[in-house]
Amino acid sequence: MPTYYDGTKLLSMLDINGNKPEIFICTGNRTSGKTTYFNRMVVNGFIKKNRKFILLYRFIQELDNVEEKFFKDIGSLFFNDYVFTAKKRSKTPFVHLFLQHKSQEEAVNCGYAIALNGADTIKKNSHLFSDCACILFDEFQSETNNYCSDEMAKFHSIHTSLARGQGKQVKYLPVYMLSNCVSILNPYFVALGISNRIKSDTKFLKGDGYVLEQSYNESAAEAQKESAFNRAFSNSDYLAYSSQNVYLQDNTAFISSMKGKSKYICTLKCDGQHYALREFTDEGIIYCDDRPDMTFRGKIAVTTDDHNINYVMLKRNELFFINMRYLFDNGCFRFKNLQCKDAVLKALIHV
């Protein structure tokens, strides 16, 4: 018999400081039931306790047909006596959601669907959403790395705009974030400090203000593997991602620690963070870690945003990085973690 995801334990957890978290993150393999569980939860919260909810999407075009995306499956499974509808004004980054029991004459507003990319408009209309009790953000990791520009700033702005009103400067507004395993370098994991803490065997992870569950549903994984379509692509990375907790975009090759005598090459600044490049001459290895020597004069900025006084733009060191790319292609690089690897890859891509 198939088993499906149950979020009871995640929702009962306290954060690393023993406080009630405001961010609940659930990742795992596909078709495990994460979305169904949380979609059903927020609808039940409205039916039983009149708790309105926010459905958070990334782009405005994703708001089209939101009633089908959100309610079609759970409606047929759990809410046969209800009709779920949406009303949207042209070009606005939010949609009014309505739920109607078949015994009722009129539909009742149960919440809103909003677009993360419309954060400025949401801020100006924040009074509309002041009575909402939670935010549900499904697929917070993008399989195609298609995030909004300044996504974290917009996400923070959205929550700040919505977590006020009803006589309070700041109210408790939990966010439920769901996703398959795509990349541990996704902007949310990086911002929350999860990227350097999570491991493949992590089940639960606590941070300041958040808790995370990395679930694995074995029956869902087996069902994926038994599919005739998936058997045809049995060696693909995507099948490993969809049926197991393998992060689609991450390659952990060459992640290791290095000890011994080394020569400091330069400090690399990428996305506002500093990294060190060291040469272990005896091993013939270039090593990148996050322990830079800020007194060293050689500082290289990967992007124009990283460029300031005492930093040289990467293009001025193109020959140096062409040599680095040759060493990388020949397996002569090692990295402390995936974030260090990502910084070097961004530098090499820019050459």
| Residue 78: predicted pLDDT | 97
| Residue 221: predicted pLDDT | 55
* 3-class secondary structure, 185: coil
| Residue 241: predicted pLDDT | 46
Compute the distance between CA of residue 131 and CA of residue 53 in angstroms, rounded to an integer: 9
| Residue 100: predicted pLDDT | 97
Give the C-alpha distances (Å, rounded to integers) separating 319 from 267, 279, 322, 326.
17, 17, 5, 11
| Residue 32: predicted pLDDT | 78
- Which sequence spans correspond to the domains of the chain? 8-243, 263-350
Mind listing the pLDDT tens digit of every residue in the chain (351 residues)?
Answer: 667 899 999 999 999 999 999 999 999 877 778 999 999 999 999 999 999 999 999 999 999 999 999 999 999 999 999 999 999 887 789 999 999 999 999 999 999 999 999 999 999 999 999 999 999 999 999 988 899 999 999 999 999 999 986 667 789 999 999 998 888 888 999 899 888 788 878 899 999 999 999 987 665 555 555 666 556 655 555 455 444 556 656 666 688 999 999 999 999 988 889 999 999 999 999 999 999 999 998 888 887 666 665 566 655 677 887 888 888 878 899 999 988 998 888 888 665
| Residue 184: predicted pLDDT | 84
Compute the distance between CA of residue 5 and CA of residue 218 in angstroms, rounded to an integer: 10
Residues 54, 57, 58, 63, Cα dihedral to 10°: -120
Q: Which of 19, 99, 27 is nearest to 67 (CA)?
A: 99
Q: What is the CATH number of domain 8-243?
A: 3.40.50
